[in-house]
Structure formats: C-alpha cells, structure tokens
Structure 1
Amino acid sequence: MSETQEELSAWKFTPDSVTGKRLMSKCRQLLQENEDIGKMIASGRLSKLEAELAMQKTLAAKMKQNQLEMDEFVQELDEDVEGMQSTIYYLQQQLREAKEKLSSYEKEKEKQLHL
C-alpha cells in the first residue's frame, strides 16, 4: 500500500513545477491539434455537402428544363389533336351527306324501275 502511495506522490505535479508546465503545454498542444483535425474533418464534410448540393441544383435545373420542353411538346400535340378532331368531324359530315345522297339516288332509281 505504501508503494502505491509513493507512486501517486511521484505522479503529482503542480502548475509551477517544470513537469507540470510541460504537461500543461503538451495538453494545450494536443487540444489545438484536436481542434485543427476537427476543423479539417468538418471542412471536408462541408466541401462534400457543397458539392452534393451543387450537383442537386444542376439536376433540378435540368429536370425543370426537361419539364418545360415536355409541356411545350404536349401543347403541340394537343393542338394537333384538335386539328385532327375537326378534320374527322368534317369528314363524318361529308360521309353522312354522301350516304344520304346515295340513299336518295337509290330510292329514285327504284321508283324509275317500277314505273
């Protein structure tokens, strides 16, 4: 037990002792190194996040441009469909009129054959 007490006494230091000053200096140095390493790690993470953010912004801009192009294309298709619907309606009317004329001619022909 006395050996343990002696070891503890040997490791004791005061801030004014040479050993104490060296230990405090070393602690401050290690603390500064830890802070510097922490800043480097944080800076690396920040750089990585900034790069990721820039990439996401670029991707969002491209997607926005693609959406605008698709909207324009859909608008053109919509106009084409409207034009085609008008043409189909017009052709249906002409077909109906042609069928009516044909039916009328056939009835007239029937009448003439029976006379």
Structure 2
Amino acid sequence: MTSCKPHSMSIQAWDTPLVCRHLLEPASNLVYSRMCSAIKDAQLRVRQSNDDLIAWKFDPESPSGKRLMSRMRHLLNENEALGRANQAERITVLEREAEAQTNCIKEFSKTHEGIESVLEEAYTDLEGLQTSLLQLHQQINQAESVVEALQAELEIREPGRVAELMKAVWEKLDDSKVEQQEKELDPNPFEATEAKAVCKEEPADDVLQTSNSS
C-alpha cells in the first residue's frame, strides 16, 4: 500500500487495491502515464479549439465580428461611391441622348417648315395659274363670240369670204407648225427671218384685198 502513495495523490478516485496492484507493474505504469498525458493534451486541444471558435464566432461584440463589420462598412461605402459614379455617368449619357434627340427634332421641324413653305408657294402659284387659265378661257370665249359675230356679219356682206379666210388661216397655222419643227431639227436664223417676213407680208395682202373688195 505504501508503494501506491505517489499515485494516490493524483488519482484519489482510483485508490483501490486493484489499481495499486496494476500500478506496481512498470509496463502498466508506463501505459497509464502515457494515457494520462494524451488525455491532458486532448483536453488542451479541445479547450484551445473552443477558445478559437469563441474568438472566431460571428458576434458584433467579438473581435472578428468587429473586424468583419468594419470591413463590410468600408465595402458598402465603396459600393455606394461606385453606384453614385455610375449613376452620374448614366445621367450624363441620358442627357447627351436627350440633347441629340432634341437636335434631331429641331432639324426635322426646320425641314418640315421649309417643305411647308415650299408647298404653300407651290399652292399659291397653282392658284395663280388656275386664275390665269380661267381668265384666258374667258378671253378665248369672248374672242370666239366676237369672231363668230364678225364671221356672221362678213358672211352677210360678202358670202363665201369667211370660208376663204378660214382656209388661209388654217394654211398659215400649218406652215407655222412646219417651220417650228424645222427650227427644232436644224435652227437657222436667216431662214427664220425670211419666214417671219413672208408671214408678215401675207396678212397685209389679205387686208388690202379685203379693203379693195369692200
């Protein structure tokens, strides 16, 4: 029993004759001592692991939690700054696009106004042409009525004279058409002058004949 006293102080719960008898053997004592040291090392590792877990536990009050929170705040600030920069750039791009669209609309409006002014001028010219054509038509009708009256009066005074005059007029018109076609094909100022002189002489002869007959 006296040989078990050194071990009885460390292992009081195992102070029995069976344990003391086993500890008397050197091999058992060596195994037991190694087992105790291994258990102590395991307990230390477990305690250290628990401490590490507690230290690395995500808690706002823990050091790691504080570091993570500060890092997250820093990242959020950077993200907000980038977002503001991106938003400002996007706004600038939108402003440029809006300005370009405004310029296009202004140019289109100017072009449209120019087209409208041209159309108004063309419409005004068309109205003027229509008015001129109407006046010419009225003048032609008046001239036709005067010619008919003169023809009737001339037919009363000189029967058959109207037919001769109409025939001469139609021949003169045919000659003028032929001359015009010749001018278009081979214009010659000298021939044109002679044709005009001939045309001027013929009405004079007709007038003289008419005056003599009357």
What stretches of structure 1 move > 3 A for 4+ residues in a row?
108-112
CA–CA separation in structure 2 for the residues paired with 1:86 and 1:64? 32
Cα distance between partner residues in 1 of 2:138 and 2:106: 48
User: In the TM superposition, what are the counterparts of 1:1-115 in structure 2 within 5 Å?
Assistant: 10=53, 11-111=56-156, 112-113=158-159
Q: What CA RMSD, in Å, does the superposition of the two structures yield over aligned residues?
A: 2.4
Indicate the residue corresponding to 2:10 in structure 1: none
- Spell out, residue by residue over 1:37-60, the C-alpha distance to the aligned partner (whole angstroms, 9 max, x if none): 222222222111111110111112
Structure number with the bigger relative contact order (C-alpha 8 A, sep ≥ 6) is: 1
Moved more, 36-45 or 89-98: 36-45
Percent identity between the two aligned chains: 31
Structure 1 gap ranges (5+): 1-5
What code does the residue aligned with 1:76 have? E
| Gapped regions of structure 2 (runs ≥ 5) | 1-48, 161-214
Aligned pair count reads: 108
SS at match of 1:15: coil
TM-score normalised according to structure 2 size: 0.44
Query: Partners of 1:13 and 1:68 in 2: how far apart?
Result: 71
Query: 2:57, 2:64 within 8 Å by CA — same for their partners in 1?
Result: no
Secondary structure of 1:113's counterpart equals coil
State the 1:109 CA deviation: 4.0
Partners of 2:58 and 2:117 lie apart in 1 by 80
Larger Rg belongs to: 2
Mapped to 1, the partners of 2:136 and 2:58 lie a distance apart of 107
TM-score of the superposition, structure 1-length normalised? 0.76
- Please tell me the residue identity of whatever aligns with 1:92: H
Return the alpha-carbon distance in structure 1 between the equivalents of residues 58 and 103 of structure 2.
Answer: 60
